[in-house]
Structure 1
Amino acid sequence: MSRGSWGGNRRAAIVSLLLACGALGVGGDLRGQSPRVAIEPDTTEIHVGDPLALRLSVEHPADLAVRWPDSLSLGPFEALALEASPPEAYGEGVRTPAVLHVTAFELGELELPSFDLELTDGASVTATVSTDPVVIGVTTVGLDESGDIRDVKGPRAIARNWLLLWPWLLLAVALAGVGYWWGRRRRRSPHRTDSRPPVPARPPHEIALEALDRLEASPLLERGEIKPYHIEVSRIIRAYLEGRYRIWALEMITPDVISSLGHAGVDPGLRTGFERFLEACDLVKFAKRRPDEAACRGILADARTLVERTKFVPPPPAAESEATAAEATAPGETAADGAEATADDRTEAAVP
């Protein structure tokens, strides 16, 4: 080998050595500043299905943050939860701790695989660190083999003393009966001590016909208020029935109203008319039926017809006077004497 070639090789070796030393120095500085992660299990052996806590510690520069994954594939282990804590100062950087909870449903020496964690500066991922694999022993639950196998016991019977239950059963039946009676009483005559409605100051049919006229002149149908219209016409007829037949029609359901009309001696044909009328109103009030304007005006005409057919017509005053005079005139008396006696009787009856 010539002197020149040896010198050239020498210089090349020196340059290579310097570059290698510089690379080692730079690499040492990067390793000192680069992030790293440590993983430590709280135990190395668990029973199948038991939770296992793995403590993670990520050391990284303060200007980076750990981006914890939303899910992890750790087969044969299953991730249960990841509890991350705020970063804390550590050396020239920070350390971010966390606890990963896992479990396993297989037996044997199982390896928890390595997984990656990303570090971000808030805009993008700048670095990635990987954990080391961890081997965990998973064993079955121990069995007590010292004792004999015992037979399965049947269900235990609950002792009952039926004699102690009889008073409670009788009390329940009595309460049910009282509740039924009270409910029917309140439905037929709630908050009342009298058994029949008061006598109106005016003839009921006059009050009802005037109310129907006011309803016909009202703007309810023009505004499309079908339900209030039927509620009002039903109320007018029920109030008329209260005054006419002395039943609590305003506080009864339709079947009870018809039944009470039967007890009051109303003709079956008229009862059928009232039943159809009230049921038509109930369909609008409770079943959300919307008849057209012609049907609405027809229900008002039906109400007038029912009132006219059932209104009370007193006997003519002349006929009543003649009948009274004939009954009051004794044999041998004149009609004038009988009329005078009738007038005296009325006067005496008027005096309190």
Structure 2
Amino acid sequence: MDKKRTNLSIIIITILLFVIVGTTAAQEPITATISTPAQAATVGDPVELTVTITHPEGYYVLPPALETGWEQFVIADQTPATTVSNRDGSATTIFTIDARVFAPGEYATPPLVLSVTDGAGELNEVIAAPIPVSIQSVLVEGDTELRDIKPQAELPYTNWLPWIIGGILLAVLLGGGFLWRKRRQARLALAMVDNRLPHEVALDELERIEGLHLPQNGRFKEYYTFVSDTVRFYIEKSYGVPVMERTTGEIQTSLRNSNMDLNVTRDFVNFLNASDLIKFSTFEPNVADAKQLMLSARNIVASTKPLVITTDDVDKQEHTPISPPQGPHFSSNGKLTNAEVQA
């Protein structure tokens, strides 16, 4: 009985030892250190402080939110923390602090309190011990030479002069091109001005219509319309009588008050009647009729061709009374005018 009790006690003690050892192994220590490069920094230079925290796997380090003024150190930047796993089951978290000191001397970093959480809500704190930091002066010991004050820092300067000159040249080129184009358009517009007299325009248009050979292709209505409209337009321009939108009867009434010769008026009315017969009826003319219409049109234009009075004509007949001719009169520049010649 005593032997059994002894064995049971040994088993219980062994189990307790395993539990104690396992708990101790699970609760690995959390350590934090600060390190800096071996070489000394000068006044105002960056002092790189590397913070290293070793902790169990699965723990998380909460980097401290340092103020800009960390005692004698001025904090310029702080990198995000990175964590790597170790072979022994622990993990290491590292982040860097960029600090500056603006006076030479021997310094020590303040104690850095770090918070580490196990992810289950338990928070642990660990302190990174201070380390010495040596800040040297930028002046060399024993150097007594006087030096000028350093000039002001030069800001980046952009030379705009080439751009300004280029812009002016571009504006000059564009302006010159614009003026050249305007003058060219003006010359083209002047070249397109038709200086022909009305009878010249009418005769040229009749010749163009004749060249279309419309009667030979059976297109009589188009032919008669073109020829009739050409003569109508000519009479309207020459005598100032609106005939383009009037019927033949209305035109005949209007021409009674014009200075058109009665014989020409009769020929013009007959010409319009012949044209209307083809344009507004089913009567089918032949090629000979079409040629006769063209001949009548040319005769009307020729018989009403204006008299162009020049200075030479007046000088030649200086002592000869001239009766005002019948029909429209045009000056040498083609402008409709009244023919008045004094003896």
TM-score (norm 1): 0.40
More helix by share: 1
Structure of greater Rg: 2
